[in-house]
Amino acid sequence: MRTEFRRAILPREIRSLMAFDRKVFSSSDLFDAGTWKVFESYWMVVDGVKAGCCAFEAHADFQEDIHQGGINPRLKGSLYISTTGILPRFRGKGFGTLLKAWEISYARYHGFNCIVTNTRKRNVAMIKLNRKFGFRIIRTTPGYYSDPPDSTVVMELRLR
């Protein structure tokens, strides 16, 4: 099995990122093209198939849940992971664990002090996966998601 991680090339791969998103998330949680452009996105390619994808915002804190206007303020040393997803047919085989480990290595390699991320409260798989790597819940904000309504759970991993 050959596995590689590579940066998505923008704007060429926006359509591919959006198509991947539709296979992984429900329609209400999809990023639009403008949102994908804000992030640095990376593919996890397994035997030539884009099996996983994640996206980062460097030097940013996640505060869209507590600030009106949904702005994430700049925070030097903080890596915001805005999405992590594995294609359904690749799940349950450790690829989520592999991608999360790579995200943490990416953050350490680039000298970040901490990682912040968020997910639906009902997303037990993602919360368990983050906990497995030492992420702590720092707050839970009700009413962040719609269709279905849900809280967002904000998690942090301090790296130094």
Contact positions toward ligand COA, by CB under 6 A? 24-25, 83-86, 91-97, 119, 123-126, 128-129, 132
Nearer to ligand COA, 96 or 156 (CB): 96
Which CB, 14 or 126, lies closer to ligand COA?
Answer: 126
Quickly list DSSP for 5-41.
Answer: EEEPPTTTTHHHHHHHHHHHS-GGG---HHHHHHSEE
Shortest reach from residue 78's CB to ligand COA, in Å: 17
DSSP three-state, residue 152: strand
The distance of closest approach from Cβ of residue 84 to ligand COA in the complex, given in angstroms and rounded to an integer, is: 5
Phi, psi of 55 (to 5 degrees): -140, 145
- For the bound state, the minimum distance from the C-beta of residue 40 to ligand COA, rounded and expressed in Å, comes to 15
To ligand COA, the closest distance from the beta carbon of 153 in angstroms equals 10
Task: Identify which of residues 111 and 143 has a Cβ nearer to ligand COA in the complex.
Answer: 143
41 or 84: CB nearest ligand COA: 84
Tell me the C-alpha distance between 110 and 81, whole Å.
14
Closest distance of CB 51 from ligand COA, Å = 9
* Shorter beta-carbon distance to ligand COA: residue 19 or 76: 19
Q: How many C-beta atoms surround the C-beta of residue 76 within 10 A?
A: 10
* Residue whose beta carbon is closest to ligand COA: 96
Identify residue 53 by its one-letter amino acid code.
C
Phi, psi of 4 (to 5 degrees): -140, 155
Contact 101, 113 (CB under 8 A): no
